Amino acid sequence: MKTLAWIAVAALAVVSRERRHAHDRDMRDASLKYNALPFTTLLHVVPGGIFPLAAPLQLSGWLRRRYAAVHRSLGYLLLLLAIPFAFTGLYIAVRDPLFGPMGAAAAVLAGALFIHAGVRAYVAIKAGDRRRHREWMLRFLALAYAIAVIRVLSMFVLAVIPVGARELGGPMFWVGWIVSALAAEWWIRNGRLRPALS
């Protein structure tokens, strides 16, 4: 029985080592692809890094009520940051998709919905429709945070299922942005039950 246990441990170690090497290879390939486009990557990563740090303030009812000018300025900043963040993301996804056609299709659809939501939020606030503006901003922010959802879900799945990051990337792109979009829709539907925030 002891021998069987040691064989199982050794087999798990070999499988784990192979998975680690496959993951390292996938990460090295990803780094090479991003490093081949330094300016594009910079235009994607810098606004994409600032965006999720600034976005939570946009959801603050207190900030919106007490400092409307800050809320407005922050909204414009998020829309401006979204332009290079979204378009470079689309370019990277289409130019040389790391996660194949499935990942590219998910990234393009999520990116198009992200741009659409940002434009609709802007049009709604310019028309004075605060309720629609809020709904579209929630969708916009949820799609921006989808990449974080994708990464968190991927870490859990990679720990459990013996696949490489490359094979997992396409399906995780779909799952991550759909989960984020559904969360925003749930929040929007729930928000209609409560009095709208001014």
Hey, what are 84's tokens? Answer: 């290079």
pLDDT of the residue at 98: 79
Within-domain flag for 198 = no
Within-domain flag for 68 = yes
Within-domain flag for 196 = no
Q: Which domain holds residue 22?
A: 2-191
The pLDDT tens digits of the residues spanning 112-134 come to: 999 999 999 999 999 999 999 99
Domain count within the chain? 1
Weakest mean pLDDT among 33-37, 96-100, 127-131, 142-146? 33-37
Within-domain flag for 165 = yes
Q: What does the H/E/C string look like for 109-153?
A: HHHHHHHHHHHHHHHHHHCCCHHHHHHHHHHHHHHHHHHHHHHHH
